[in-house]
Amino acid sequence: MQYRTLGRTGVQVGSLALGAMNFGSIGRTTQDEATALVDAALEAGINVIDTADMYGAGESEEMVGKALAGRRDDVVLATKAAMPMGDGLNQRGGSRRWLVTALENSLRRLGVDHVDLYQIHRWDPATGDEETLSALTDLQRAGKIRYFGSSTFPAYRIVQAQWAAREHHLGRYVTEQPGYSILQRGAETHVLPVTEEYGLGVLAWSPLASGWLSGAIREGREITTSRSAFMPERFDTALPANRARLDAVERLAALADEAGLTMVQLALGFVTAHPAVTAAIIGPRTPEHLRAHLAAADTVLTADVLDAIDAIVAPGLDLAPHEKFDTPPALLDPSLRRRHRA
C-alpha cells in the first residue's frame, strides 16, 4: 500500500480507501460480510473508510460502526451529509439546522463521538457558503469532526468556498471527492487543477466507472453488474454513450493484456497516478472484489501505458457527460439562463 498526505492536513492515508456504499441493501451485503471486508481491508493497510448518511438511509453507517467496534482509532473515518434523508423540506442540504442534526444522527449510527472527515455530499444552491462553513467550523471546534470537505462540487464552487472561508475567517474544506476514472476524465479540466491550487486532498469515487472497468464487462457478454440491475440505462449498449464506453473498454482490455495487468490494476493505477489524487475509493461487495482491488494497491503505470490510455480516451473527456453530478444548475434549468423581464 502506498501512503500519501491528505492535502495539507498532515494525515497519512493509503492510496486506496474503502467505500461503504455497498454495505447493506444497496449491495445486498450482510453485516458479517461487511465486517469481513473491513477486516481484510485493514489487514491490507487501507486506513480510510468512507460512507454517507444516505447510503441505505443510514444502514451503511450502522454497519460500518459495528464492523469498527473496538478499533475505531485504527481508521480515518469519513462520512457525508446534505443528500435527502426523508420527505421533510429541511431534512437535507447544507443549513446549520440540518447539519447539526445530521451529524448527531451519523455519530449515533456509527457508534462514535467524532468523525475524522465530514463531507458535504453535494453543493446546496439554496444555502450560502458562510452558513455551511460556519456550522462546520463550530462542529469542528466542538470536537465532533476533525476536518471537513466537499464532494462532487463544480470547480467554481470549490473556489467560492475557499474564498468564503478566508473572507469570513472560517475553517475551510480540506478535501474534495470527485468522480474520476479513465472513462470519465472531465475532472481533469477544472476540478483537479483547482484542488492542486488550493492544496486539497482528493478522494476519487467510482474509479472503476460503475463496473465498466472491472473486467466483467466485455463485448459479447451479458452485463450483470450490481449497478445494471437498478441503473439499466447506464449499461444499455444500444445507447451511443454506452457504445462508446464499450468500445473504449475493449481497447483498454487489449492494453492491459499487453502490459501484463488486470483491468482493475489499469483503472486504479490510472486514477492514483494523477498528482492531484490522494486515494481512489473502492467499493467491493465481495472478498473476491476486494482481493482484485488490493492487487492494484502498488500498481505504478509506465509513461507508455499512460500515453496509450490518453490515445484511447482523451484527457479531460467524459464519455458519458450526462451522468455527471457537478453540472452548473443553469445548464439543467432553462429558466436560470434567461433574463426575466418585468
Residues 68 and 61 sit within 8 Å (Cβ to Cβ): no
Give strand pairing partners of 24. Answer: 29
Is 55 designated active site? yes
Burial (CB count within 10 angstroms: exposed 0-12, middle 13-18, buried 19+), residue 265: buried
Indicate the DSSP class of residue 29: B
Q: Is 147 helix (H, G, I), strand (E, B) or coil?
A: strand
| Cα–Cα distance for residue pair 283/293, rounded to 1 Å | 9
Do residues 136 and 118 make contact, with C-beta atoms less than 8 angstroms apart? yes
Residue 54: what are its φ and ψ, rounded to 5°? -85, -5
Of the residues 3, 55, 147, 180, only one is catalytic, namely 55
Q: What is the C-alpha to C-alpha distance for residues 295 and 280, in angstroms, rounded to an integer?
A: 13
Cα torsion for 105, 107, 108, 110, to the nearest 10°? Answer: 120
Residue 78, beta-bridge partner list: 50, 117
Which residue type occupies 32? Answer: D
Q: Give yes or no for a contact between 318 and 179, defined as CB atoms under 8 angstroms apart.
A: no
Of the candidates 289, 304, 321, the residue with the CA atom closest to the CA atom of residue 259: 304
If one counts every other C-beta atom within 10 angstroms of the C-beta of residue 53, the result is 23
β-strands 201-204, 279-282: how paired? parallel
Q: Is 141 exposed, middle or buried (0-12, 13-18, 19+ CB in 10 A)?
A: exposed
The closest of 287, 316, 285 to 26, measured between CA atoms, is 285
Catalytic residues: 55
